Chain A
């Protein structure tokens, strides 16, 4: 099975609330939304970012805008205000996620 970096088929944005990182993922081509929804599961995101996320990952699907929302708890080293991480907001997690390899859409 051919795989590609998520970056080849999706765009992402990261946000934060306390110690929770929120990663939004959308297909570059909306026709790939179903493919993304099938292959980019909460478990895959949690496994790929295991060095950062020590809590749970919950996925919400928003098909009206072809969006997948990953809410990741205990992902910011205690939260932006007290974190020792250089990127204490976890802003760069969205770009890290784009390095995940995913089955190429057919």
Chain B
């Protein structure tokens, strides 16, 4: 794009699949954004999405995709705010078609770029060792999905085709932010300093409000004003790679040195080697400065050459999980919950399953123990859905066949998808872009 730009403002419109939508609408309305990124894909989310796609080939994208498009397209497109999102999950093309359909429904002209090529199930060696334990991938269970983490380069063709919306599947979270910065500043993807700066911006924003006061408040120790109205963050990134993290005036939440540094180290292993498809980021020299209310200046990202291999997230069928809980209250509640746990465990062990037993609740008194409450939780992994049901039925049976005063049974049976990791040569992965348009 233009090289005259000196600052780019990117907003975070979602930090996970279940994130709130209202605050993203506020940010687009009042934020004077250039780009809005919706990060909606955790490690396991995409494997679950593959399961949905197998049931219905027209599905497999984010469950809230339509709701997000309906709320955000009419705000973003007329303002020229581009949307980039990995909410395509296991079916980016279907999500792209959905975006076009929503735009047509509300009478907007819209160009959508769909990025595919992350699905590498047909390309991986299922006998290769899993990164987690060195055992062959296939030995863990039936493999149901394999998605490579694509980098920022995979989004560039769509941006250069002037797309209003870019939909991807598995892309490294920060890469969703790196791509528009490459595009708007004309940065060279081989420039490690700039890729490091852009990746740092992405890392700070990718979890939404976790940098602006969410996941932070601890009454009496760390106060956050008006957390109920916590605002999503944006970053003003300068051409030199420095940035200011901020949020809309009038929103709740907090951005200061503490919230930013908590997010800076969040989920980093070695702070000197945060590896993405775009760069290896080193945050050891990052400096933070409070430059105004809810404004923190960030500088000092360093980078090394991107890796030759891409990480692949592999989903496998890991059986079922049966979970159930029951409450006991008042004097002796802990003793009764413990007794219930012992007898239900013994009943379940007769079928060869060893359950996990937890006691949850008011175990010692903020109030007096006579008003205390304790919840017994029983959980087990099983090979079949029937066995998982058996766990939950034994807990339910405690109503009549357990200690006194058991109530409030809740049960859940979950089809468990496990996640493993492996690597694939970058040259074996070919990202593709398809452009869809409203008619």
Contact = CB atoms under 8 A, between A and B. Distances in A.
A71 B271 CA distance: 10
Interface string B251-291: 00000011001111111111110000000000111111000
Interface string B317-353: 0100101000000000000000000000000000000
B318 A81 contact: yes
Contact of B318 (A18, A22, A66, A82): A82
Contact of A86 (B44, B261, B377): B377
Interface string B350-390: 00000010101000000000000000010111000000000
B405 interface: no
Given A19-B132, A60-B271, A13 B265 contact: yes
Given A11-B258, A81-B43, A84-B356, A22 B221 contact: no
Contacts of B261: 24, 26, 65-67
A71 B270 CA distance: 8
Contacts, number: 96
Interface residues of B, number: 45
B221 A20 contact: no
B215 A79 contact: no
A16 B286 contact: no
Given A64-B287, A81-B417, A84-B356, A22 B132 contact: no
Given A16-B267, A26-B258, A64-B300, A82 B381 contact: yes
B286 A79 contact: no
Interface in A52-84: 60, 62, 64-67, 69, 71, 79-82, 84
Interface of A: 7, 11, 13, 15-20, 22, 24, 26, 28, 60, 62, 64-67, 69, 71, 79-82, 84-86, 95
